[in-house]
Amino acid sequence: MPQTPSSPGVYIEEAGAGGASIAGLPGSVTLFVGWAASGPANQAQPVKSFADYQRDFGPLDRRSALGYAVQQFFGNGGSEAYVLRLQGAGADGTPLSPGSADFHAALLAQLQAGQAFDRLASFNLLCVPGESDAATLAALQSYCQQRHAFLIADAPAADRDGSLSLALAAQLSSRPAAAFSALYFPWVKAADPLQNMQELDFPPCGFVAGVYAASEAEGGVWKTPDGILAGLNGASGLSAAIGQNRAGELNQQGINCLRSLPNLGPVVWGARTLAGRDELSSDWKYVSERRLANYIETSLLQGTQWTAFEPNGEALWARLRLSISAFMQTLFQQGAFMGASPQEAYFVKCDATTTSPADIEQGMVSISLGFAPRRPAEFLILTLRQRAGGSST
């Protein structure tokens, strides 16, 4: 249903799968949420290195996976993150463990209040290390859909054959926001410096978010973050051994496996969203397609703010077509789309057929754009609706 903006700004509404210069925004800024013993509470802090994390939130703490996940993110190619330290109602320093009622309540309180999240200029990936509660993950899926972000979810820690992950995916994959998330199984073995370098199991999300960032830096946000080049730095093994056949079965159900390959070690071996179950036939089956759409949407949100106070008519529409087409052409030249020509790769439409007289009366302008993802598929179509200054004269 079309949105009805209440204030000047840019609003994006997706209709289906499928002037001023517009700059592409970073696509792998990751928000980590969890408990730490010290540091600013219930307020997201920017960190650009693990040293930044230690300065603000203290050293690694075996009571929480948060610090380890941030360290693993930067160790695998991440470069920019936020950390949101959750604090219980009593604020007495008692650890909050993912999956617990207290953790769930603290996290949902932050989502509902919105302040800790919404003051962020931009984040693209969301990790809550160790969280595998279906209700909590469902709330995070919906929040990522609202923010044009993407949730990297962890499989249950006790899962050794994929059965628990299948049950979790079944609860999450049919939801409208399923495409804004991906589930990774199993947990990752790594040496813990707090336990005399003993090998322990860690949630995969920090490793995987780093792989996303490294993949984007190498080939763009549209590059699939998996395969033999998607190795997990700092990993010594996995909590479960997954063979090729089992990995294929889980992949068909929208679960991305981590596998240990000969001479390579642990790698990411799957890149489907939680809407990627074969029987769903979703347009948003693959992580790379959903993240590319998020990247386009957030870049347009930022890059077309100037239109909010412009007269709503053909002159504005022409400027929007020009600036958005230039942005899409740059992506085409970088290899983001399928197609041998721009006409085969993308389209941008903004005219009297997308913006009705009633829209103009309400100060609305609509832009329809589509792109052909890098796989055999139809165009994925996005519809952008934004507030304009008023009717042209």
Between CA 81 and CA 25 the distance in angstroms is 14
Question: What pLDDT does residue 365 have?
Answer: 85
Q: Is residue 6 a contact partner of residue 12, using CB atoms and an 8 Å limit?
A: no
Question: What pLDDT does residue 377 have?
Answer: 43
Q: Is residue 154 a contact partner of residue 187, using CB atoms and an 8 Å limit?
A: yes
| Joined tokens for residue 316 | 């504005």
Give the 3-state secondary structure of residue 1. Answer: coil
81 backbone φψ class: left, alpha, beta (φ>0; ψ -120 to 50): beta
Question: What pLDDT does residue 24 have?
Answer: 83
String of DSSP letters for 256-290? EEEEEETTTEEEEE--B-TT--GGG--TT-BHHHH
Q: Which residue segments constitute the domains of the chain, with CATH numbers given?
A: 10-22+307-391 (no CATH), 30-289 (3.40.50.11780)
| Joined tokens for residue 108 | 């949902």
String of DSSP letters for 4-68? --SSSSEEEE--S------PPPPS--EEEEE--SSS-BSS-EEESSHHHHHHHH-S--TT-SHHH
- Digitized pLDDT (tens) for each residue of the chain, 393 residues in all: 445 555 444 445 554 433 678 888 888 999 999 999 999 988 889 999 999 999 999 999 999 999 999 999 999 999 999 999 998 765 567 899 999 999 999 998 888 776 556 556 579 999 999 999 999 999 999 999 998 999 999 999 999 999 999 999 999 998 999 999 999 999 999 999 999 999 999 999 999 999 999 999 999 999 999 999 999 999 999 999 999 999 999 999 999 999 999 999 999 999 999 999 999 999 999 999 999 999 999 898 888 888 878 888 899 999 999 999 999 999 999 999 999 999 999 999 999 999 888 888 888 888 899 999 886 444 667 777 777 765 443
* Exposure of 387 in the CB half-sphere (CA atoms within 13 A): 13
159 backbone φψ class: left, alpha, beta (φ>0; ψ -120 to 50): beta
Residue 262 phi/psi, 5° resolution?
-55, 135
Question: What pLDDT does residue 302 have?
Answer: 83
